[in-house]
Structure 1
């Protein structure tokens, strides 16, 4: 019976590479000369530290650009609130979302079942397994999920015949 998985994954090495590129760019840019701005990765989150709100906003834009170049979409980033740090500096954590949370998984399952295709959908932890009798039905489900316009990007893996 053909099946595939709907997942939301991020390649951690790509996040590390993007952060290293951001730090390299910050070190060479004239508007960051003499500032204590830095970006680090720790425990599945990106930590941004900057001198003030303006520099924080600039670092966020640079980070988002480098992540998009490495095919990590903005929907996979969850910006936490800005916290004051020592002096006038500020810091912000950016969580990298992985896996489908329960509400999003239930929404996708409900939408797939509303299409009346002959497919079964099962929630397996933080991913969905879609099985059906025909490959065409599964391709129809993939097209439908892509057209849903979800805020969190999803990938389709393990397509088996």
Structure 2
């Protein structure tokens, strides 16, 4: 029997599901009446979704469709970082949506501070873009998971490698 138990806190995004969500959003935009004869486009390049359309109303509608499709595909909206709306040529507008993978150092520090502030008998350490939590009691690790699920850190958290 192991003397120490551990799990990792990560923020991962399934890129295949993001690609599926973008494709489904484009299909819906192609079928909707309010987008008829508009030049609306959603393009996924690496970790950035580029949205371009004719006006801000259509841009807002396209982002809502994208969010809905992501939620339906199991991709958290917290993983999408919407950039500012930019004016493009011929009166069109565009927006870049960055897909956030991993936990930033600032968020990781907030998570570790929250764990330490809870006085649960576990250790938390930052490892690149994830946080590892170790402890002698499985119940303490479960308590940490429940604590973190009840808080909002602005990123989608998953708990993996529970041993």
TM-score of the aligned structures, taking structure 2 as reference length: 0.95
1:88-107 equivalences under 5 Å are 88-107=91-110
1:137 to 2:140 alignment = yes
- How far did 1:149 drift? 2.2
1:147 equivalent in structure 2: 150
The total of aligned residue pairs comes to: 160
SS in 2 for 1:48: strand
1:16 equivalent in structure 2: 19
What are structure 1's unaligned runs of at least 5 residues?
A: none
Query: Structure 1 stretch 98-107 or stretch 144-153: which is displaced more?
Result: 144-153
Deviations 1:4-50 (A, max 9, x none): 00001110000000000011111111111110001010120110010
Rounded Cα–Cα distance in structure 2 between residues aligned with 1:92 and 1:112: 36
What are structure 2's unaligned runs of at least 5 residues?
A: none
SS in 2 for 1:112: helix
SS in 2 for 1:159: coil
- How far did 1:150 drift? 2.2
SS in 2 for 1:47: strand
1:28 equivalent in structure 2: 31
Rounded Cα–Cα distance in structure 1 between residues aligned with 2:84 and 2:147: 34
Rounded Cα–Cα distance in structure 1 between residues aligned with 2:65 and 2:71: 10
Rounded Cα–Cα distance in structure 2 between residues aligned with 1:55 and 1:67: 18
Displaced runs of 4+ in structure 1, greater than 3 A?
A: none
TM-score of the aligned structures, taking structure 1 as reference length: 0.96
